[in-house]
């Protein structure tokens, strides 16, 4: 069914022929600009009106028309580029009648180029006195109303291009994200780590607990998984002798969507040969501070309605300590499985069929009851072996593993291990995972024979960590929804 055009849309389309009659391409050509709105301000903010008139500072800008005030033979418009807004004065006595007639065809949303001298208006506003006007691109759709913009959040995400035009905060977030990633790369590189790339398609499900996306390779006539983690491939590189590696890459998990989760997301995973969990702890804490300094110039960052001090030492607590703090249940008393089940029922902790050990129940308590007790940056360590199939056992308590997750305000930001490098132990863990899968755990790992072969060649003691980049950008830009920091998040159909 053909879309019905509004009166405004029809009027804009009807102007296309008039551009052609005037010898102007409605969709323009390459345009050379010397400046942006930001550089004009850098050059001229300190100059008075008299100094600007005396110095004759000429600039060439391009941008989208965001507002128009026509007053007969003289008009004002505001144009917007990636750095900000700039007011432009267009007068028939300066640009000439032909150019002014072309300008009169302009609508809000059109993209134009201007050349002229910088001046100040009577009210002191920085303005370009246009001497040459160039039409570049006709906008056939009107922008949303200035003061209301895109108020429907779903529409903002679905039409991100309009959101970026209208919403300065969305543009700020989009430009901050690469700063976060660049700061991360520079920090890791400075420590001697090497950035690598590994395959997105995997024949084996492993490296994390997650439900995968499955795709079919026609030439091989074989199903592959879109990777749920980069862990296994990076550990193979450690076996191969690369020693210090990291990868920033997209992962895919076929699970629900909410303010903390998107099925397609970005992480960094890093592995350090001859390291352990404590190395990862210090690296993570320093990384968060380094990025805060690069983005905000301080380790105290805006957070919700206040601030968050990343400069203070992060807390270090066992999972059992956090569960006890949140519920009063002390699993250091070594409860039997039957006793743990009874405690779960008393505290309304939901247990799945595959949760058939006390370790599973401790983890269920933590997942369901502890978010409110993890407000300050906290490393939660000593995870049950049942939920950590790729992690070394703790020396003093083999029921738990040398693993932490980093939480801030109840949200997980990172997951780190002293990596399991014993191939015999690893095979036993994979067998346990296969048993869990038979009991209905869709997130359980599969047997990875090639990884076991790699471990049999010998992997040095290694520390490893994974950090969610989307959530890290949320933290650094003070956003409560992951969809704000992903340019094109997964969305339901607009008609559903």
> Which pLDDT score is estimated for 445?
80
Cβ 404 vs Cβ 391: under 8 Å: no
Q: Give phi and psi for 467, each to the nearest 5.
A: -130, 130
Report percent pLDDT > 90 for the chain: 88
Predicted confidence (pLDDT) per residue in 251-287, tens digit:
999 998 999 999 999 999 999 999 999 999 999 999 9
Q: What is the mean pLDDT of residues 433-455?
A: 87
Q: Is 237 a residue whose pLDDT tops 80? A: yes
Q: What is the mean pLDDT of residues 431-453?
A: 87
* 3-state SS string for the chain: CCCCCCHHHHHHHHCHHHHHHCCCCCCCCCCCCCCCHHHHHHHHCCCCHHHHHHHCCEEEEEEEEEEEEEECCEEEEEEEECCEEEEEEEEHHHHCHHHHHHHCCCCCCCEEEEEEEEEECCCCCEEEEEEEEEEEECCCCCCCCCCCCCCCHHHHHHCHHHHHHHCHHHHHHHHHHHHHHHHHHHHHHHCCCEECCCCCEECCCCCCCCCCCEEEECCCCEEEEECCCCHHHHHHHHHCCCCEEEEEEEEECCCCCCCCCCCEEEEEEEEEECCCHHHHHHHHHHHHHHHHHHHHCCCEEEECCEEEECCCCCEEEEHHHHHHHHHCCCHHHCCCHHHHHHHHHHCCCCCCCCCCCHHHHHHHHHHHHCHHHCCCCEEEEEEEHHHCCCECECCCCCCEEEEEEEEECCEEEEEEEEECCCHHHHHHHHHHHHHHHHCCCCCCCCCCHHHHHHHHHCCCCEEEEEEEHHHHHHHHHCCCCHHHCCCCCCCCCCCC
> Which pLDDT score is estimated for 147?
45
Tokens matching residue 227: 């990777």
The CATH code of domain 166-314+376-484 reads 3.30.930.10
Alpha-carbon Rg for the chain, nearest whole angstrom, is: 29
Question: What residue segments make up the domains of the chain, in order of their start?
Answer: 19-143, 166-314+376-484
Q: What is the mean pLDDT of residues 382-398?
A: 93
Tokens matching residue 98: 């032909």
Alpha carbons 394 and 382: distance in angstroms, whole number: 8
Predicted confidence (pLDDT) per residue in 190-214, tens digit:
999 999 999 999 988 888 778 899 9
In the CATH hierarchy, which top-level class contains the domain 19-143? mainly beta
Q: What is the mean pLDDT of residues 460-467?
A: 98
Q: What is the mean pLDDT of residues 350-355?
A: 93
Other beta carbons less than 10 A from residue 194's beta carbon: 13
Alpha carbons 90 and 117: distance in angstroms, whole number: 11
Q: Is 148 a residue whose pLDDT tops 60? A: no
Report percent pLDDT > 70 for the chain: 98
**Half-sphere exposure in the Cβ direction for 255 (13 Å, CA):** 16
CA distances from 276 to 236, 269, 282, 419 (A): 17, 14, 11, 7
Q: Is 408 a residue whose pLDDT tops 60? A: yes
Q: Is 443 a residue whose pLDDT tops 80? A: no
Output the CA torsion 56→61→63→67 (10° steps). 10
Cβ 452 vs Cβ 419: under 8 Å: no
Residue 3 pLDDT level (bands cut at 50, 70, 90): confident
Q: What is the mean pLDDT of residues 390-408?
A: 95
Predicted confidence (pLDDT) per residue in 289-320, tens digit:
999 999 999 999 999 999 999 999 999 999 99
Question: Mean pLDDT across the chain, nearest whole number?
Answer: 94
Q: What is the mean pLDDT of residues 59-84?
A: 96
> Which pLDDT score is estimated for 151?
64
Q: What is the pTM of this model?
A: 0.92
């Amino acid at each position: 069914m053909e879309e019905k055009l509004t009166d405004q849309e029809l009027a804009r389309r009807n102007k296309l022929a008039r551009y052609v009659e005037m010898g102007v391409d409605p969709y323009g050509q390459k345009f050379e600009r010397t400046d942006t709105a930001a550089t004009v301000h850098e050059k001229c903010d300190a100059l008075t009106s008299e100094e600007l008139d005396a110095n004759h500072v000429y600039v060439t800008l391009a941008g989208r028309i965001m507002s128009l005030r026509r007053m007969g033979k003289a008009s004002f418009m505001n144009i917007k580029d990636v750095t900000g807004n700039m007011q432009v004065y267009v007068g028939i006595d300066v640009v000439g009648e032909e150019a002014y007639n072309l300008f009169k065809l302009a609508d809000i949303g059109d993209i134009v180029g201007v050349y002229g001298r910088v001046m100040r208006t009577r009210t002191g506003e920085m303005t370009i006195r246009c001497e040459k006007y160039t039409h570049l691109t006709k906008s056939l759709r009107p922008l949303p109303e200035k003061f209301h913009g895109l108020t429907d959040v779903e529409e903002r995400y679905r039409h991100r291009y309009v959101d970026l035009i209208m919403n300065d905060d969305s543009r700020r977030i989009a430009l901050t994200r690469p700063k976060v990633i660049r700061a991360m790369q520079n920090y890791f590189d400075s420590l001697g780590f090497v950035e690598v790339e590994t395959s997105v398609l995997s024949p084996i499900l492993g490296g994390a607990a997650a439900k995968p996306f499955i795709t079919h390779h026609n030439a091989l006539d074989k199903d592959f998984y879109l990777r749920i983690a980069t862990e296994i491939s990076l550990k193979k590189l450690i076996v191969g002798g690369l020693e210090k590696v990291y990868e920033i890459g997209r992962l895919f998990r076929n699970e629900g969507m909410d303010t903390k989760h998107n099925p397609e997301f970005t992480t960094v995973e890093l592995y350090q040969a001859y390291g352990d969990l404590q190395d990862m702890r210090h690296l993570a804490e320093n990384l968060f501070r380094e990025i805060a300094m690069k983005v905000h110039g301080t380790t105290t960052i805006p957070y919700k309605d206040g601030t968050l001090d990343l400069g203070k030492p992060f807390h270090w607590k066992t999972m059992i300590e956090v569960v006890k703090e949140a519920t009063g249940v002390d699993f250091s008393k070594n409860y039997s499985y039957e006793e743990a089940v009874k405690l779960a029922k008393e505290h309304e902790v939901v247990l799945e069929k595959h949760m058939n050990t006390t370790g599973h129940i401790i983890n269920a308590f933590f997942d369901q009851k502890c978010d409110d007790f993890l407000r300050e940056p906290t490393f939660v360590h000593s995870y049950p072996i049942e939920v950590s199939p790729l992690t070394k056992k703790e020396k003093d308590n083999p029921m738990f593993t040398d693993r932490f997750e980093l939480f801030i305000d109840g949200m997980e930001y990172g997951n780190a291990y002293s990596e399991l490098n014993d191939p015999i132990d690893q095979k036993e863990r994979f067998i346990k995972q296969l048993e869990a899968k038979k009991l209905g755990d869709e997130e359980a790992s599969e047997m990875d024979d090639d990884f076991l072969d790699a471990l049999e060649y010998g992997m040095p003691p290694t520390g490893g960590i994974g950090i969610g980049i989307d959530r890290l950008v949320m933290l650094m830009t003070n956003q409560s929804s992951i969809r704000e920091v992903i340019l094109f998040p997964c969305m339901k159909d607009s008609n559903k």
